[in-house]
Every structure is written in C-alpha cells, then in structure tokens.
Amino acid sequence: MIELEAVSVELGGRLVLRELSLRVAPGELLALVGPNGAGKSTALAAIAGALSTSGGEIRFHDRPLRAWDAEELARARAVMTQSEFLTFAFLVRDVVAMGRHPHPPSDADEETVDAAAREARVSHLLDRRYTALSGGERQRVRFARVLTQLGGVEQGALLLDEPTASLDPAEQHACMAAARRQARAGRAVVVVLHDLGLAARYADRMAVLDDGRLLGEGTPREVVGQGILDEAFDVQVRLVPHEGPHPTVLVEPRAAGEDSGRA
C-alpha cells in the first residue's frame, strides 16, 4: 500500500508538486498522466524515496517512507527510470541480475532472472552485450531488471516511469500487460504514461496531474467522462463505443479547425 498525504516537493526553489494526495492499493495499477512538466516523474521519484518532501507525508506499507532503510526499501519496491547511463559492455544477463543486488544471494536467482527476462521478452538477448542493443531493447532489459528486483517479493511496489516510451506498438502492449500481471499478483503498480490509449486500456485508475496538482482521479471511464483529461491536455478525449471489456479512447485536438484534416 502506497499513501501520499498532501505531499509537496520543491526543486530548485520551485514548487513542482503541490499537496498531492494519492493511494495505491496492492493489486492495483495506477496510471499517472498529465502534460509535460506536470510533475509526474517528480511524483514517482518522491514515491520511490529519492526526493525529500517539503510538506506532507508518504507512507509505504503503513510506515513513513523516511523510516525505511535504503536496502530494506530496495527489497520491497523497484523503480524503472528513464535515464540511461550504462556505457560499459555488460552482458544483458548481468544487467538483469543486478536487480538481485539488495537480496541475499540464493540458488533461485538464476530462475528469477530467466522468469523476468521471459516476462519482459528479452530472453533471446541475455547473452548479448547491453551496449550493442537498440534503445527499445535496452528499455525492455531495464524492465526485466526491475521485475528481477521484485522476484519472490510478496507485496512489493513497482514504479515505472514511461516504460513504453521507445517501444513499438506490440511491445508497448506487451509491457503494459506485464505490468498489469504484476498488479494482479498483488503488487501496487504506478506507471507514468503519455499514451492515454494505453493508460485507459490497462490502468485500474488514472490520476491526472497538471502544474504539480492533482486535477482528478478515477477509473479511466470516470476520468474521460468527467472531461478531466480535456482540461489537463487541452484536447478532446472521447470513449469509442465497442464490444470489448476495456475502454478505448480517441484523442483529438480541441479546435477542429484548419489543421484537423484536408476535408
């Protein structure tokens, strides 16, 4: 369980998160959406314990986040960031296995690595050099690494910052489906997303941020129905009626004027 109570974060003298309150229950996938600079990544970093807050409190498993020791926290929550630093030519298998760092070594580690690699669809890359992979492949390897970190963890938290950013459409769906399976296995999953279609299809709930504030939250149908996304992004978001179980959305520019098509 992740709980944020009126959390504010100041970065470089600017308030980038203003009194954000959120709850993510085990078994739930929450999508954090909002325009560029809305504070999504900051919110995720705060939940991950990487930022000091200037107000409010974050609790993880009913304990204040700052009461957690770094290693203990690393055994219960994994974070996939957008950054990419690795320039040494590690084998992909070794990169994925680094997810086991906070855990005591075990005979099951190899199996955990293999299972995470299957889930992130990188099994075929395990014996290649990380530095020789494409951007999308590296991103999937990083996803496998965070899954490895939560391997064998009962009720962990999985925090993903734009995990689908450089993936092709099939891989985007595979990644989100895997994130959803993680939630169904009892984890609290928070995903920062730009693709509203993916968010609406895979999230149990969506939280919409704008200018560091929570504009609204609810199920995808509620968020779309109440026009919260329209307000945040200055676009028109509509639900497309269809037979399937998941909501599908259509995103159009607000002014259906001169650039909307050739007519």
Question: Which range binds another protein by CB under 8 A, 9-17, 89-97, 198-206, 242-250?
Answer: 89-97
- Strand 188-192 to 157-161 pairing: parallel
Q: In angstroms, what is the minimal distance from the CB of 111 to another protein?
A: 12
Binder of another protein out of 16, 48, 160, 203 (CB under 8 A): 48
Amino acid, single-letter form, for residue 67: A
Calpha distance 86→247 (Å, rounded): 38
Question: Which range binds another protein by CB under 8 A, 5-13, 43-51, 180-188, 193-201?
Answer: 43-51
Q: Which CB atom, from 160 or from 223, has the smaller least distance to another protein? A: 160
Binding mask 143-172 for another protein (x = CB under 8 A): ------x-----------------------
Binder of another protein out of 11, 98, 108, 256 (CB under 8 A): 98
Q: In angstroms, what is the minimal distance from the CB of 117 to another protein?
A: 13
* Cβ atoms of 138 and 90 closer than 8 Å: no
Question: Which range binds another protein by CB under 8 A, 36-44, 45-53, 184-192, 228-236?
Answer: 45-53
Question: Which range binds another protein by CB under 8 A, 31-39, 53-61, 94-102, 174-182?
Answer: 94-102
**DSSP secondary structure, 192-252, as one string:** E-S-HHHHHHH-SEEEEEETTEEEEEE-HHHHHHTTHHHHHHTEEEEEPP-SSSS--EEEE
DSSP run (H or E) holding 189: strand 188-192
Amino acid, single-letter form, for residue 166: S
* Cβ atoms of 145 and 167 closer than 8 Å: no
Considering only residues 200 to 259 of the shown chain, the ones binding another protein according to CB under 8 A are none
- Our CA angle for 166, 88, 49, nearest 5°, is 60
Q: Which CB atom, from 81 or from 236, has the smaller least distance to another protein? A: 81
Q: Which CB atom, from 84 or from 231, has the smaller least distance to another protein? A: 84
DSSP run (H or E) holding 160: strand 157-161
Structural Rg of the chain based on CA atoms: 19
Considering only residues 66 to 85 of the shown chain, the ones binding another protein according to CB under 8 A are 70-75, 78-79, 81, 83-85
Calpha distance 244→247 (Å, rounded): 8
Site residues, another protein (CB under 8 A): 45, 48, 50, 70-75, 78-79, 81, 83-91, 93-95, 97-99, 101-102, 109-110, 131-132, 149
